[in-house]
């Protein structure tokens, strides 16, 4: 992996393929490895830049609470170092929250963007409480039991029984999350604002992808706008993790969207 310094922290990233630049952001307790099966399906036509977000994977994990804005600024600094004036940005879940912060503050750096199993809604009061519980759990018991509990909830129920290898892969990726990185990111998600107005005000091409069986973020929470610049796609039979549950169908969805972005 390559490395850059963003805001004093090392951010690791993969840079694979040729063509128009596409940045792929992973979700909470994931890493660039979440995208490993999708990138080979895109990289003959697109330059895929896939960072480990602050607090995740091989990137630095500073202590304390993070903000979604800091995590978005890391992405912009990475683009600056790579001298990429404009990219298409797709974010999975936490990565989608970060994507919306980029849209709000740096829309001029985007050709288009997408939320993959993500939402513009803020945390509910109940979820905010759960974030605090997650932080105290991780601080008390470490990352492993937290990841062991969380990961199966991310997959479609049938996949939990039928594809233990997918669950194990996601757990192995999750175990590499530094505990302070998971805590810092949980606090960032907790404090994020409602960005439904950012999503609906954007005139950029937008891709919204939902999993038919996503138990974390429902289709209703993903599809908050229905307007001509927005493409809504539901992937049948998958949960919150189409990049592992159906990488071929997710890649095909992304390619169709990128073709539209390029034709504008
Ligand atoms: C993620 O996959 O990033 C998380 O499920 C997002 C969240 O907890 O809101």
The interface predicted TM-score (ipTM) is: 0.97
- Phi then psi dihedrals of residue 113, to 5 deg: -155, 165
CA–centroid distance, residue 127 to ligand 1 (Å): 11
How many whole angstroms separate alpha carbon 96 and alpha carbon 78?
17
CA–centroid distance, residue 217 to ligand 1 (Å): 8
- Nearest atom within ligand 1 for CA of residue 150: 5
Contact 191, 198 (CB under 8 A): no
pLDDT of 203 over the 80 cut: yes
DSSP letter for 240, please.
Answer: S
Task: Please name the residue ranges forming H helices in the chain.
Answer: 39-42, 68-81, 94-106, 125-141, 143-150, 157-162, 164-175, 179-191, 196-201, 219-222, 242-245, 247-263
Please provide the average confidence, as pLDDT, over all residues in the chain.
97
Q: Which of 240, 241, 243, 245 to mutate to test the pocket of ligand 1 (most atoms within 8 A of CB)?
A: 240
CA–centroid distance, residue 94 to ligand 1 (Å): 5
pLDDT of 263 over the 90 cut: no
Write the pLDDT tens digit of every residue in 22-65.
999 999 999 999 999 999 999 999 999 999 999 999 999 999 99
Give the distance, in angstroms, between the CA of residue 130 and the centroid of all CA atoms in the same chain. 20
Contact 187, 65 (CB under 8 A): yes
Query: Strand order in 110-116's β-sheet?
Result: 2-6, 9-16, 46-51, 20-25, 87-92, 110-116, 206-211, 230-235
- Nearest atom within ligand 1 for CA of residue 28: 3
- Nearest atom within ligand 1 for CA of residue 189: 9
SS3 21: strand
Say what the pTM is.
0.98
- Nearest atom within ligand 1 for CA of residue 96: 3
Q: Check residue 60 and give its pLDDT.
A: 97
- Nearest atom within ligand 1 for CA of residue 186: 8
Could you list the residue range(s) of the whole structural domain that residue 219 is in?
A: 2-263
CA–centroid distance, residue 107 to ligand 1 (Å): 23
pLDDT of 78 over the 80 cut: yes
pLDDT of 7 over the 90 cut: no
**CATH code of residue 137:** 3.40.50.1820
Beta carbons within 8 Å of 115's beta carbon, 6+ residues apart? 90, 91, 96, 99, 100, 199, 206, 207, 208, 209, 222
Closest among 210, 197, 201 to 239, alpha carbons compared: 210
Within 10 angstroms of residue 226's Cβ, the number of other Cβ atoms is: 9
CA–centroid distance, residue 263 to ligand 1 (Å): 32
Q: Which of 121, 182, 216 to mutate to test the pocket of ligand 1 (most atoms within 8 A of CB)?
A: 216
Structural domains counted in the chain? 1
Question: What are the Cα distances from residue 204, in Å, to 34, 80, 82, 227, 253?
Answer: 26, 21, 22, 11, 17
DSSP letter for 55, please.
Answer: T
Strands 9-16 and 46-51: antiparallel
pLDDT of 264 over the 90 cut: no
Write the pLDDT tens digit of every residue in 92-131.
999 999 999 999 999 999 999 999 999 999 999 999 999 9
- Phi then psi dihedrals of residue 17, to 5 deg: 95, 175
Pocket of ligand 1 (CB under 6 A): 27-28, 93-94, 189, 216, 240
DSSP letter for 85, please.
Answer: S
Percent of the chain with pLDDT over 70: 100
CA–centroid distance, residue 190 to ligand 1 (Å): 11
Percent of the chain with pLDDT over 90: 97
Q: Check residue 260 and give its pLDDT.
A: 87
Per-residue pLDDT, averaged over 191-210, amounts to: 98
């Amino acid at each position: 992996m390559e490395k850059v310094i963003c805001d004093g922290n090392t951010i690791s990233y993969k840079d694979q393929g040729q063509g128009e630049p596409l940045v792929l952001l992973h979700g909470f307790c994931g890493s660039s490895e979440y995208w490993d099966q999708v990138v080979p399906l895109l990289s003959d036509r697109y330059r895929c830049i896939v960072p480990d977000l602050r607090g995740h994977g091989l990137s630095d994990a500073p202590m304390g609470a993070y903000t979604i804005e800091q995590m978005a600024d890391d992405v912009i600094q990475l683009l600056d170092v790579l001298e990429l004036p404009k990219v298409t940005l797709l974010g999975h879940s936490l990565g989608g929250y970060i994507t919306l912060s980029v849209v709000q503050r740096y829309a001029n750096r985007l050709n288009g963007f997408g939320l993959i199993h993500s939402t513009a809604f803020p945390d509910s009061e109940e979820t905010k409480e759960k974030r605090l519980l997650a932080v105290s759990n991780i601080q008390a018991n470490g990352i492993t039991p937290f990841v062991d509990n969380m990961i199966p909830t991310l997959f479609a129920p049938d996949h939990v029984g039928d594809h233990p290898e997918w669950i194990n892969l996601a757990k192995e990726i999750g175990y590499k999350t530094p505990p302070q990185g998971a805590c810092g990111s949980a606090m960032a998600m907790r404090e994020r604002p409602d960005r439904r107005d950012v999503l609906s005000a954007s005139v950029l091409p937008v891709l919204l992808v939902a999993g038919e069986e996503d138990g974390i973020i429902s289709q209703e929470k993903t599809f908050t706008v229905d307007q001509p610049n927005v493409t809504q796609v539901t992937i049948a039979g998958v949960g919150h993790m189409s990049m592992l549950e159906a990488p071929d169908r997710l890649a095909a969805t992304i390619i169709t969207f990128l073709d539209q972005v390029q034709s504008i």
